[in-house]
Structure 1
Amino acid sequence: MLIQNQMIQTIKDKCITDELVAASMMYGSFTKGEGDRYSDIEFYIFIKNTDIDGFNSKKWISEIYPVDLIFYNEFGTEVVIFSNMIRGEFHFLPASKIEIIKSFKPTGIFPDTASMYIYDETEKLKPLLDDLGRSEPERITMENINFAFNNFVNAWMMGINVLNRGEAARALECLTYVQKYILQLIRMKENSVERWLNSTKNLEKDISKKFYQDYISITAKLEKAELVTAYTNALNLMRDLYEEFEAEYPVDVDKPFIDKLYLIIK
Protein backbone atom coordinates (compact mmCIF):
# COMPACT_ATOMS: atom_id res chain seq x y z
CA MET A 1 0.00 0.00 0.00
CA LEU A 2 1.22 3.49 -0.78
CA ILE A 3 2.24 5.54 2.25
CA GLN A 4 -0.12 8.25 0.97
CA ASN A 5 -3.07 5.86 1.27
CA GLN A 6 -2.13 5.10 4.86
CA MET A 7 -1.85 8.82 5.64
CA ILE A 8 -5.16 9.55 3.90
CA GLN A 9 -6.88 6.94 6.07
CA THR A 10 -5.33 8.45 9.19
CA ILE A 11 -6.63 11.89 8.18
CA LYS A 12 -10.09 10.50 7.43
CA ASP A 13 -10.24 8.81 10.82
CA LYS A 14 -9.13 12.00 12.54
CA CYS A 15 -11.75 14.08 10.72
CA ILE A 16 -14.49 11.66 11.77
CA THR A 17 -13.49 11.48 15.43
CA ASP A 18 -12.38 15.08 16.03
CA GLU A 19 -15.25 17.03 17.58
CA LEU A 20 -13.89 20.28 16.11
CA VAL A 21 -14.45 19.11 12.54
CA ALA A 22 -17.84 19.88 11.02
CA ALA A 23 -17.12 18.51 7.53
CA SER A 24 -14.16 17.40 5.46
CA MET A 25 -13.32 16.41 1.92
CA MET A 26 -10.35 15.39 -0.19
CA TYR A 27 -9.38 16.54 -3.67
CA GLY A 28 -6.59 15.89 -6.15
CA SER A 29 -5.09 12.82 -7.79
CA PHE A 30 -6.26 10.27 -5.24
CA THR A 31 -9.91 11.20 -5.86
CA LYS A 32 -9.45 10.68 -9.61
CA GLY A 33 -7.80 7.27 -9.51
CA GLU A 34 -4.48 8.82 -10.56
CA GLY A 35 -2.59 8.86 -7.27
CA ASP A 36 0.86 7.30 -7.20
CA ARG A 37 3.95 7.40 -4.98
CA TYR A 38 4.78 10.89 -6.26
CA SER A 39 1.35 12.40 -5.60
CA ASP A 40 0.38 14.97 -2.96
CA ILE A 41 -2.45 14.54 -0.47
CA GLU A 42 -4.95 17.41 -0.43
CA PHE A 43 -7.87 18.31 1.83
CA TYR A 44 -10.50 20.88 2.75
CA ILE A 45 -11.41 20.66 6.42
CA PHE A 46 -14.26 22.76 7.79
CA ILE A 47 -14.04 23.59 11.48
CA LYS A 48 -17.10 24.36 13.60
CA ASN A 49 -17.73 28.09 13.63
CA THR A 50 -17.57 28.24 17.42
CA ASP A 51 -14.11 26.64 17.47
CA ILE A 52 -12.37 28.23 14.48
CA ASP A 53 -10.83 31.17 16.39
CA GLY A 54 -8.83 28.96 18.72
CA PHE A 55 -8.07 26.25 16.19
CA ASN A 56 -4.38 25.37 15.78
CA SER A 57 -3.90 23.94 12.29
CA LYS A 58 -0.20 23.20 12.75
CA LYS A 59 -0.90 21.12 15.85
CA TRP A 60 -3.73 19.30 14.04
CA ILE A 61 -1.52 18.43 11.07
CA SER A 62 1.42 17.40 13.26
CA GLU A 63 -0.76 14.79 14.95
CA ILE A 64 -1.18 13.00 11.62
CA TYR A 65 2.48 12.28 10.94
CA PRO A 66 5.82 13.89 11.88
CA VAL A 67 6.32 17.16 10.01
CA ASP A 68 9.49 18.83 8.69
CA LEU A 69 7.95 22.03 7.37
CA ILE A 70 4.58 23.84 7.40
CA PHE A 71 3.97 27.14 5.63
CA TYR A 72 1.41 29.11 3.64
CA ASN A 73 2.05 29.42 -0.08
CA GLU A 74 1.21 32.43 -2.26
CA PHE A 75 -2.39 31.21 -2.67
CA GLY A 76 -3.04 30.98 1.07
CA THR A 77 -2.92 27.18 1.09
CA GLU A 78 -1.27 25.54 4.08
CA VAL A 79 1.48 23.38 2.62
CA VAL A 80 3.05 20.57 4.59
CA ILE A 81 6.24 18.60 3.97
CA PHE A 82 5.97 15.51 6.12
CA SER A 83 9.13 13.82 7.39
CA ASN A 84 8.60 10.97 4.90
CA MET A 85 8.83 13.60 2.13
CA ILE A 86 5.15 13.41 1.23
CA ARG A 87 3.73 16.81 0.36
CA GLY A 88 0.30 17.83 1.59
CA GLU A 89 -2.09 20.73 1.05
CA PHE A 90 -4.65 21.68 3.68
CA HIS A 91 -7.40 24.30 3.71
CA PHE A 92 -8.92 24.88 7.14
CA LEU A 93 -12.04 27.02 6.98
CA PRO A 94 -15.04 27.73 9.22
CA ALA A 95 -18.08 25.58 8.46
CA SER A 96 -19.94 28.74 7.43
CA LYS A 97 -17.72 28.89 4.32
CA ILE A 98 -18.51 25.39 3.08
CA GLU A 99 -20.18 26.77 -0.03
CA ILE A 100 -16.73 27.67 -1.34
CA ILE A 101 -17.06 24.22 -2.94
CA LYS A 102 -19.32 25.80 -5.57
CA SER A 103 -16.31 27.73 -6.85
CA PHE A 104 -14.54 24.48 -7.77
CA LYS A 105 -16.89 23.74 -10.66
CA PRO A 106 -15.15 25.84 -13.34
CA THR A 107 -11.73 24.49 -12.37
CA GLY A 108 -11.98 20.97 -13.72
CA ILE A 109 -13.72 17.63 -13.97
CA PHE A 110 -14.72 15.63 -10.90
CA PRO A 111 -15.41 12.07 -12.09
CA ASP A 112 -15.96 10.53 -8.64
CA THR A 113 -17.28 13.00 -6.10
CA ALA A 114 -18.05 10.16 -3.69
CA SER A 115 -14.30 9.62 -3.29
CA MET A 116 -13.95 13.28 -2.26
CA TYR A 117 -16.38 12.93 0.66
CA ILE A 118 -14.95 12.20 4.12
CA TYR A 119 -17.28 13.45 6.84
CA ASP A 120 -20.15 15.87 7.30
CA GLU A 121 -22.43 16.83 10.14
CA THR A 122 -23.70 19.97 8.38
CA GLU A 123 -25.64 17.94 5.76
CA LYS A 124 -24.39 20.40 3.15
CA LEU A 125 -21.24 18.72 1.86
CA LYS A 126 -22.71 15.83 -0.11
CA PRO A 127 -25.18 17.98 -2.13
CA LEU A 128 -22.35 20.40 -2.94
CA LEU A 129 -20.10 17.56 -4.10
CA ASP A 130 -22.91 15.95 -6.08
CA ASP A 131 -23.40 19.22 -7.92
CA LEU A 132 -19.72 19.25 -8.92
CA GLY A 133 -20.16 15.95 -10.73
CA ARG A 134 -23.36 16.78 -12.59
CA SER A 135 -21.78 18.49 -15.59
CA GLU A 136 -18.37 19.21 -17.02
CA PRO A 137 -17.41 22.77 -17.94
CA GLU A 138 -17.42 23.36 -21.69
CA ARG A 139 -13.85 24.05 -22.77
CA ILE A 140 -13.91 23.95 -26.56
CA THR A 141 -15.62 27.25 -27.16
CA MET A 142 -15.08 30.27 -29.35
CA GLU A 143 -14.30 32.29 -26.22
CA ASN A 144 -11.60 29.88 -25.05
CA ILE A 145 -10.09 29.58 -28.53
CA ASN A 146 -9.76 33.34 -28.85
CA PHE A 147 -8.54 33.62 -25.27
CA ALA A 148 -5.72 31.19 -26.05
CA PHE A 149 -4.78 32.81 -29.38
CA ASN A 150 -4.89 36.36 -28.03
CA ASN A 151 -2.94 35.56 -24.89
CA PHE A 152 -0.42 33.61 -26.93
CA VAL A 153 0.20 36.76 -28.97
CA ASN A 154 0.55 38.83 -25.80
CA ALA A 155 3.06 36.43 -24.20
CA TRP A 156 4.92 35.81 -27.46
CA MET A 157 5.37 39.51 -28.25
CA MET A 158 6.53 40.29 -24.74
CA GLY A 159 8.98 37.40 -24.85
CA ILE A 160 10.43 38.17 -28.25
CA ASN A 161 10.75 41.88 -27.42
CA VAL A 162 12.69 41.29 -24.20
CA LEU A 163 14.81 38.71 -26.03
CA ASN A 164 15.60 41.27 -28.74
CA ARG A 165 16.55 43.68 -25.94
CA GLY A 166 19.00 41.10 -24.61
CA GLU A 167 17.00 39.88 -21.60
CA ALA A 168 17.28 36.15 -22.21
CA ALA A 169 16.27 35.14 -18.68
CA ARG A 170 13.05 37.12 -18.89
CA ALA A 171 12.37 35.72 -22.36
CA LEU A 172 12.68 32.21 -20.93
CA GLU A 173 10.12 33.10 -18.27
CA CYS A 174 7.73 34.47 -20.91
CA LEU A 175 8.18 31.28 -22.90
CA THR A 176 6.37 29.32 -20.20
CA TYR A 177 3.24 31.39 -20.91
CA VAL A 178 3.67 30.93 -24.65
CA GLN A 179 3.76 27.17 -24.02
CA LYS A 180 0.70 27.34 -21.76
CA TYR A 181 -1.52 28.90 -24.42
CA ILE A 182 -0.19 26.63 -27.16
CA LEU A 183 -1.06 23.64 -24.98
CA GLN A 184 -4.57 24.96 -24.46
CA LEU A 185 -5.00 25.16 -28.22
CA ILE A 186 -3.54 21.69 -28.69
CA ARG A 187 -5.81 20.22 -26.05
CA MET A 188 -8.86 21.82 -27.64
CA LYS A 189 -7.77 20.58 -31.06
CA GLU A 190 -7.39 17.03 -29.77
CA ASN A 191 -10.41 17.16 -27.45
CA SER A 192 -8.20 16.44 -24.45
CA VAL A 193 -9.34 19.21 -22.14
CA GLU A 194 -9.79 17.35 -18.84
CA ARG A 195 -6.62 18.97 -17.50
CA TRP A 196 -7.41 22.47 -18.69
CA LEU A 197 -5.92 24.34 -15.73
CA ASN A 198 -2.91 22.04 -15.43
CA SER A 199 -2.22 21.49 -19.09
CA THR A 200 1.19 19.82 -18.73
CA LYS A 201 -0.07 17.09 -16.37
CA ASN A 202 0.11 13.67 -18.04
CA LEU A 203 0.97 15.45 -21.28
CA GLU A 204 3.01 12.48 -22.46
CA LYS A 205 -0.14 10.35 -22.46
CA ASP A 206 -2.85 12.90 -23.21
CA ILE A 207 -1.78 14.28 -26.60
CA SER A 208 -0.62 12.73 -29.85
CA LYS A 209 3.04 12.03 -30.54
CA LYS A 210 3.00 14.65 -33.30
CA PHE A 211 1.83 17.43 -31.01
CA TYR A 212 4.13 16.24 -28.23
CA GLN A 213 7.09 16.63 -30.58
CA ASP A 214 5.77 20.07 -31.51
CA TYR A 215 5.71 20.94 -27.81
CA ILE A 216 9.31 19.80 -27.41
CA SER A 217 10.26 22.15 -30.25
CA ILE A 218 9.03 25.18 -28.27
CA THR A 219 11.17 24.48 -25.22
CA ALA A 220 14.62 25.98 -24.70
CA LYS A 221 17.60 26.44 -22.40
CA LEU A 222 18.80 29.86 -21.32
CA GLU A 223 20.67 30.50 -24.57
CA LYS A 224 19.67 33.13 -27.10
CA ALA A 225 19.91 30.84 -30.15
CA GLU A 226 17.69 28.21 -28.51
CA LEU A 227 15.21 30.85 -27.41
CA VAL A 228 14.98 32.32 -30.91
CA THR A 229 14.35 28.82 -32.29
CA ALA A 230 11.70 28.10 -29.65
CA TYR A 231 9.87 31.38 -30.28
CA THR A 232 10.01 30.83 -34.05
CA ASN A 233 8.71 27.28 -33.70
CA ALA A 234 5.95 28.51 -31.39
CA LEU A 235 4.82 31.04 -33.97
CA ASN A 236 4.91 28.38 -36.69
CA LEU A 237 2.78 26.10 -34.53
CA MET A 238 0.37 28.90 -33.67
CA ARG A 239 -0.01 29.68 -37.39
CA ASP A 240 -0.76 26.01 -38.17
CA LEU A 241 -3.31 25.83 -35.37
CA TYR A 242 -4.87 29.08 -36.57
CA GLU A 243 -5.40 27.58 -40.02
CA GLU A 244 -7.19 24.60 -38.49
CA PHE A 245 -9.36 26.52 -36.03
CA GLU A 246 -10.15 29.35 -38.45
CA ALA A 247 -12.02 26.92 -40.67
CA GLU A 248 -14.58 26.33 -37.90
CA TYR A 249 -14.47 29.33 -35.59
CA PRO A 250 -14.24 33.12 -35.95
CA VAL A 251 -10.73 33.88 -34.70
CA ASP A 252 -9.70 37.40 -33.70
CA VAL A 253 -6.22 37.16 -35.19
CA ASP A 254 -5.81 36.75 -38.95
CA LYS A 255 -3.10 35.62 -41.36
CA PRO A 256 -1.79 39.12 -42.26
CA PHE A 257 -1.38 39.86 -38.56
CA ILE A 258 0.43 36.57 -37.95
CA ASP A 259 2.73 37.33 -40.91
CA LYS A 260 3.64 40.65 -39.25
CA LEU A 261 4.75 38.83 -36.12
CA TYR A 262 7.51 37.12 -38.07
CA LEU A 263 9.00 40.51 -38.87
CA ILE A 264 10.00 41.18 -35.26
CA ILE A 265 12.04 37.99 -34.85
CA LYS A 266 15.75 38.89 -34.90
Structure 2
Amino acid sequence: MLPQEHLIARVRELCHADENLVAALTYGSFAQGEGDAHSDVEFWLFFGAEQAAVLDHRAWLDRIGPIRYVVVNEFGTHVAFFPHLIRGEFHFATADDIGSVATWPARSAPTDRMIVLDRTGALRRALDALPARPELPAGAEDVDELCGRFANWLILAHHVAQRGELLRAVDALSHAQRYLLWMARLAEDRTEHWLTPSRRAETDLGVEAVGSLRHTVTVAEAKAVAGAVAAAWVCGRDYWVRLADRVGCEIPRELLAELDSVTGTA
Protein backbone atom coordinates (compact mmCIF):
# COMPACT_ATOMS: atom_id res chain seq x y z
CA MET A 1 0.00 0.00 0.00
CA LEU A 2 1.05 3.55 -0.66
CA PRO A 3 1.55 5.82 2.38
CA GLN A 4 -1.46 7.82 1.20
CA GLU A 5 -3.65 4.71 1.35
CA HIS A 6 -2.63 4.16 4.97
CA LEU A 7 -3.55 7.78 5.73
CA ILE A 8 -6.91 7.41 4.00
CA ALA A 9 -7.65 4.26 5.99
CA ARG A 10 -6.73 6.05 9.22
CA VAL A 11 -8.98 9.03 8.43
CA ARG A 12 -11.85 6.65 7.66
CA GLU A 13 -11.30 4.96 11.02
CA LEU A 14 -11.31 8.29 12.85
CA CYS A 15 -14.45 9.45 11.06
CA HIS A 16 -16.45 6.39 12.05
CA ALA A 17 -15.24 6.65 15.64
CA ASP A 18 -16.08 10.35 16.03
CA GLU A 19 -19.68 10.68 17.23
CA ASN A 20 -19.55 14.45 16.63
CA LEU A 21 -19.07 13.90 12.93
CA VAL A 22 -22.29 13.82 10.89
CA ALA A 23 -20.81 13.07 7.48
CA ALA A 24 -17.51 12.91 5.61
CA LEU A 25 -16.44 12.49 2.03
CA THR A 26 -13.22 12.00 0.13
CA TYR A 27 -12.47 13.25 -3.36
CA GLY A 28 -9.60 13.59 -5.80
CA SER A 29 -7.23 11.06 -7.29
CA PHE A 30 -7.75 8.16 -4.91
CA ALA A 31 -11.55 8.43 -5.04
CA GLN A 32 -11.24 8.36 -8.83
CA GLY A 33 -8.96 5.33 -8.77
CA GLU A 34 -6.02 7.34 -10.16
CA GLY A 35 -3.97 7.88 -7.00
CA ASP A 36 -0.21 7.40 -7.07
CA ALA A 37 2.84 8.20 -4.96
CA HIS A 38 2.51 11.91 -5.73
CA SER A 39 -1.21 12.30 -5.03
CA ASP A 40 -2.84 14.23 -2.18
CA VAL A 41 -5.39 12.89 0.28
CA GLU A 42 -8.51 15.05 0.38
CA PHE A 43 -11.56 15.16 2.66
CA TRP A 44 -14.61 17.15 3.64
CA LEU A 45 -15.62 16.70 7.30
CA PHE A 46 -19.11 17.81 8.40
CA PHE A 47 -19.55 18.23 12.16
CA GLY A 48 -22.56 19.15 14.24
CA ALA A 49 -22.82 22.93 14.61
CA GLU A 50 -22.08 23.00 18.34
CA GLN A 51 -19.12 20.65 18.01
CA ALA A 52 -17.75 22.54 15.02
CA ALA A 53 -17.75 25.78 17.03
CA VAL A 54 -15.36 24.37 19.63
CA LEU A 55 -13.43 21.89 17.50
CA ASP A 56 -9.65 21.93 17.80
CA HIS A 57 -8.74 21.35 14.16
CA ARG A 58 -5.06 20.70 14.77
CA ALA A 59 -5.81 18.20 17.52
CA TRP A 60 -8.16 16.30 15.20
CA LEU A 61 -5.53 16.20 12.48
CA ASP A 62 -2.80 15.09 14.91
CA ARG A 63 -4.80 11.93 15.56
CA ILE A 64 -4.16 10.85 11.98
CA GLY A 65 -0.41 10.50 12.49
CA PRO A 66 2.84 12.48 12.36
CA ILE A 67 2.43 15.89 10.76
CA ARG A 68 5.28 18.18 9.71
CA TYR A 69 3.20 21.34 9.39
CA VAL A 70 -0.38 22.62 8.99
CA VAL A 71 -1.45 25.74 7.15
CA VAL A 72 -4.87 27.21 6.37
CA ASN A 73 -4.79 28.07 2.67
CA GLU A 74 -6.40 31.02 0.94
CA PHE A 75 -9.67 29.09 0.58
CA GLY A 76 -9.97 28.29 4.29
CA THR A 77 -8.89 24.67 3.87
CA HIS A 78 -6.52 23.07 6.38
CA VAL A 79 -3.55 21.63 4.51
CA ALA A 80 -1.43 19.14 6.45
CA PHE A 81 2.03 18.08 5.34
CA PHE A 82 2.69 14.48 6.33
CA PRO A 83 6.02 12.62 6.13
CA HIS A 84 7.34 12.08 2.58
CA LEU A 85 5.88 15.52 1.68
CA ILE A 86 2.39 14.07 1.33
CA ARG A 87 -0.27 16.78 1.25
CA GLY A 88 -3.61 16.33 2.95
CA GLU A 89 -6.49 18.76 2.35
CA PHE A 90 -9.17 18.87 5.05
CA HIS A 91 -12.28 21.02 4.76
CA PHE A 92 -13.83 21.40 8.22
CA ALA A 93 -17.53 22.24 7.87
CA THR A 94 -20.87 21.82 9.61
CA ALA A 95 -23.81 19.56 8.89
CA ASP A 96 -25.64 22.63 7.57
CA ASP A 97 -23.05 22.79 4.78
CA ILE A 98 -23.90 19.36 3.41
CA GLY A 99 -26.60 20.84 1.19
CA SER A 100 -24.03 23.04 -0.55
CA VAL A 101 -22.41 19.90 -1.98
CA ALA A 102 -25.36 19.73 -4.39
CA THR A 103 -24.15 23.04 -5.93
CA TRP A 104 -20.77 21.62 -7.01
CA PRO A 105 -20.24 21.41 -10.78
CA ALA A 106 -20.03 17.60 -10.71
CA ARG A 107 -19.05 14.59 -8.65
CA SER A 108 -15.36 13.80 -8.79
CA ALA A 109 -16.02 10.05 -8.47
CA PRO A 110 -18.91 7.59 -7.96
CA THR A 111 -20.97 8.40 -4.87
CA ASP A 112 -20.09 5.19 -3.04
CA ARG A 113 -16.38 5.87 -3.45
CA MET A 114 -16.70 9.42 -2.17
CA ILE A 115 -18.78 8.77 0.95
CA VAL A 116 -16.73 8.02 4.05
CA LEU A 117 -19.53 8.56 6.58
CA ASP A 118 -23.18 9.56 6.19
CA ARG A 119 -25.20 9.24 9.39
CA THR A 120 -28.32 10.99 8.06
CA GLY A 121 -28.35 10.17 4.35
CA ALA A 122 -28.13 13.87 3.46
CA LEU A 123 -24.66 13.56 1.95
CA ARG A 124 -25.71 10.76 -0.40
CA ARG A 125 -28.71 12.80 -1.56
CA ALA A 126 -26.49 15.81 -2.25
CA LEU A 127 -23.91 13.77 -4.16
CA ASP A 128 -26.51 11.86 -6.15
CA ALA A 129 -28.02 15.18 -7.24
CA LEU A 130 -24.78 16.10 -9.02
CA PRO A 131 -23.96 15.18 -12.61
CA ALA A 132 -21.23 12.59 -13.06
CA ARG A 133 -19.33 14.98 -15.35
CA PRO A 134 -19.22 18.80 -15.48
CA GLU A 135 -21.10 20.64 -18.19
CA LEU A 136 -18.77 21.59 -21.03
CA PRO A 137 -18.81 24.75 -23.15
CA ALA A 138 -21.05 23.84 -26.05
CA GLY A 139 -22.58 26.80 -27.84
CA ALA A 140 -21.11 29.83 -29.55
CA GLU A 141 -21.52 32.04 -26.48
CA ASP A 142 -19.69 29.55 -24.22
CA VAL A 143 -16.78 29.13 -26.63
CA ASP A 144 -16.56 32.88 -27.22
CA GLU A 145 -16.31 33.44 -23.46
CA LEU A 146 -13.67 30.73 -23.00
CA CYS A 147 -11.44 32.04 -25.77
CA GLY A 148 -11.99 35.64 -24.74
CA ARG A 149 -10.80 34.94 -21.23
CA PHE A 150 -7.65 33.39 -22.65
CA ALA A 151 -7.07 36.55 -24.71
CA ASN A 152 -7.68 38.75 -21.66
CA TRP A 153 -4.85 37.18 -19.66
CA LEU A 154 -2.54 36.90 -22.66
CA ILE A 155 -2.86 40.58 -23.55
CA LEU A 156 -2.22 41.53 -19.92
CA ALA A 157 0.93 39.36 -19.97
CA HIS A 158 2.08 41.10 -23.15
CA HIS A 159 1.61 44.61 -21.76
CA VAL A 160 3.21 44.08 -18.37
CA ALA A 161 6.15 42.29 -20.02
CA GLN A 162 6.65 45.30 -22.29
CA ARG A 163 6.67 47.48 -19.17
CA GLY A 164 9.36 45.27 -17.65
CA GLU A 165 7.17 43.63 -14.99
CA LEU A 166 8.36 40.15 -15.87
CA LEU A 167 7.19 38.42 -12.69
CA ARG A 168 3.72 39.85 -13.21
CA ALA A 169 3.82 38.68 -16.82
CA VAL A 170 4.63 35.13 -15.71
CA ASP A 171 1.70 35.27 -13.29
CA ALA A 172 -0.66 36.46 -16.03
CA LEU A 173 0.65 33.76 -18.37
CA SER A 174 -0.18 31.09 -15.83
CA HIS A 175 -3.82 32.20 -15.98
CA ALA A 176 -3.72 32.31 -19.76
CA GLN A 177 -2.25 28.81 -19.88
CA ARG A 178 -5.12 27.45 -17.79
CA TYR A 179 -7.65 28.70 -20.31
CA LEU A 180 -5.41 27.51 -23.12
CA LEU A 181 -5.52 24.00 -21.67
CA TRP A 182 -9.32 24.14 -21.55
CA MET A 183 -9.33 25.24 -25.18
CA ALA A 184 -6.97 22.41 -26.11
CA ARG A 185 -9.05 19.81 -24.28
CA LEU A 186 -12.24 21.00 -25.92
CA ALA A 187 -10.69 21.15 -29.40
CA GLU A 188 -9.05 17.73 -29.01
CA ASP A 189 -12.16 16.16 -27.44
CA ARG A 190 -10.12 15.13 -24.39
CA THR A 191 -12.18 16.50 -21.53
CA GLU A 192 -11.66 13.70 -18.98
CA HIS A 193 -10.06 16.01 -16.42
CA TRP A 194 -11.97 19.17 -17.23
CA LEU A 195 -12.18 20.64 -13.73
CA THR A 196 -8.36 20.62 -13.41
CA PRO A 197 -7.26 20.98 -17.02
CA SER A 198 -3.52 20.60 -16.36
CA ARG A 199 -4.05 17.26 -14.65
CA ARG A 200 -2.57 14.40 -16.69
CA ALA A 201 -2.42 16.70 -19.71
CA GLU A 202 0.72 14.93 -20.92
CA THR A 203 -1.20 11.66 -21.26
CA ASP A 204 -4.66 13.02 -22.12
CA LEU A 205 -3.59 15.28 -24.98
CA GLY A 206 -1.71 14.29 -28.09
CA VAL A 207 2.06 14.57 -28.46
CA GLU A 208 1.80 17.51 -30.85
CA ALA A 209 -0.55 19.44 -28.57
CA VAL A 210 1.59 18.83 -25.49
CA GLY A 211 4.74 19.84 -27.36
CA SER A 212 3.15 23.12 -28.39
CA LEU A 213 1.77 23.84 -24.93
CA ARG A 214 5.14 23.26 -23.27
CA HIS A 215 6.55 26.20 -25.20
CA THR A 216 4.09 28.45 -23.35
CA VAL A 217 5.82 27.79 -20.00
CA THR A 218 8.40 30.40 -19.13
CA VAL A 219 10.76 31.98 -16.60
CA ALA A 220 11.00 35.64 -15.67
CA GLU A 221 13.49 36.73 -18.32
CA ALA A 222 12.46 39.26 -20.94
CA LYS A 223 13.25 37.12 -23.98
CA ALA A 224 11.73 34.02 -22.43
CA VAL A 225 8.52 35.83 -21.45
CA ALA A 226 8.13 37.28 -24.94
CA GLY A 227 8.69 33.85 -26.43
CA ALA A 228 6.14 32.27 -24.10
CA VAL A 229 3.54 34.92 -24.92
CA ALA A 230 4.09 34.29 -28.62
CA ALA A 231 3.94 30.51 -28.20
CA ALA A 232 0.77 30.76 -26.12
CA TRP A 233 -0.79 32.93 -28.78
CA VAL A 234 0.08 30.55 -31.64
CA CYS A 235 -1.58 27.68 -29.75
CA GLY A 236 -4.51 29.76 -28.58
CA ARG A 237 -5.22 31.27 -31.99
CA ASP A 238 -5.37 27.82 -33.57
CA TYR A 239 -7.71 26.42 -30.93
CA TRP A 240 -9.86 29.56 -30.99
CA VAL A 241 -10.40 29.28 -34.75
CA ARG A 242 -11.07 25.54 -34.55
CA LEU A 243 -13.58 25.90 -31.74
CA ALA A 244 -15.29 28.91 -33.32
CA ASP A 245 -15.67 27.01 -36.60
CA ARG A 246 -17.12 24.04 -34.71
CA VAL A 247 -19.87 25.97 -32.92
CA GLY A 248 -20.35 28.81 -35.38
CA CYS A 249 -19.36 31.77 -33.21
CA GLU A 250 -17.83 34.93 -34.63
CA ILE A 251 -14.05 35.29 -34.60
CA PRO A 252 -12.77 38.77 -33.64
CA ARG A 253 -10.38 38.92 -36.60
CA GLU A 254 -9.07 42.42 -35.91
CA LEU A 255 -8.05 41.35 -32.41
CA LEU A 256 -6.39 38.22 -33.78
CA ALA A 257 -4.51 40.27 -36.37
CA GLU A 258 -3.25 42.72 -33.76
CA LEU A 259 -2.09 39.89 -31.51
CA ASP A 260 -0.33 38.35 -34.51
CA SER A 261 1.44 41.65 -35.01
CA VAL A 262 2.56 42.36 -31.45
CA THR A 263 3.74 38.79 -30.89
CA GLY A 264 5.53 38.58 -34.23
CA THR A 265 3.58 35.52 -35.27
CA ALA A 266 1.79 36.92 -38.31
After TM superposition, the score normalised by the length of structure 2 is 0.92
How far apart are 1:77 and its partner, in Å? Answer: 0.3
The residue matched to 1:164 in structure 2 has which SS? helix
How far apart are 1:140 and its partner, in Å? Answer: 3.4
Partners of 1:52 and 1:138 in 2: how far apart?
Answer: 33
Aligned counterparts, 1:34-49, within 5 A: 34-49=34-49
Tell whether 2:97 aligns with 1:139. no
Identity of aligned residues (%): 29
Change (3 A) 1:109 1:252: farther
Partners of 1:90 and 1:111 in 2: how far apart?
Answer: 18
Change (3 A) 1:131 1:240: same
User: Contact 2:23 / 2:47 at 8 angstroms: preserved in 1?
Assistant: yes
Q: Which residue does the alignment assign to 2:128?
A: 130
Q: Which residue does the alignment assign to 1:100?
A: 100
Greater mean alpha carbon deviation, residues 55-64 or residues 80-89: 80-89
Partners of 2:253 and 2:9 in 1: how far apart?
Answer: 56
CA RMSD after TM alignment: 1.8
User: Contact 2:107 / 2:127 at 8 angstroms: preserved in 1?
Assistant: no
Change (3 A) 1:166 1:120: same
Partners of 1:26 and 1:205 in 2: how far apart?
Answer: 25
Q: Which residue does the alignment assign to 1:195?
A: 193
User: Contact 2:27 / 2:108 at 8 angstroms: preserved in 1?
Assistant: no
Partners of 2:256 and 2:21 in 1: how far apart?
Answer: 55
Aligned counterparts, 1:109-188, within 5 A: 109-132=107-130, 134-142=131-139, 143-188=141-186
The residue matched to 1:127 in structure 2 has which SS? helix
How far apart are 1:43 and its partner, in Å? Answer: 0.7
Partners of 2:74 and 2:250 in 1: how far apart?
Answer: 34
Q: Deviations over 1:218-240 (max 9, x none)?
A: 22222222222221222222222
The residue matched to 1:35 in structure 2 has which SS? coil
Q: Which residue does the alignment assign to 1:90?
A: 90
How far apart are 1:129 and its partner, in Å? Answer: 1.9
Q: Which residue does the alignment assign to 1:4?
A: 4
How far apart are 1:109 and its partner, in Å? Answer: 4.8
Q: Which residue does the alignment assign to 2:228?
A: 230
Aligned counterparts, 1:14-29, within 5 A: 14-29=14-29
Q: How many residues were matched structurally?
A: 263
The residue matched to 1:74 in structure 2 has which SS? coil
User: Contact 2:30 / 2:41 at 8 angstroms: preserved in 1?
Assistant: yes
Q: Deviations over 1:167-226 (max 9, x none)?
A: 222212211122111111100011222322311110110101111111012222222222
After TM superposition, the score normalised by the length of structure 1 is 0.92
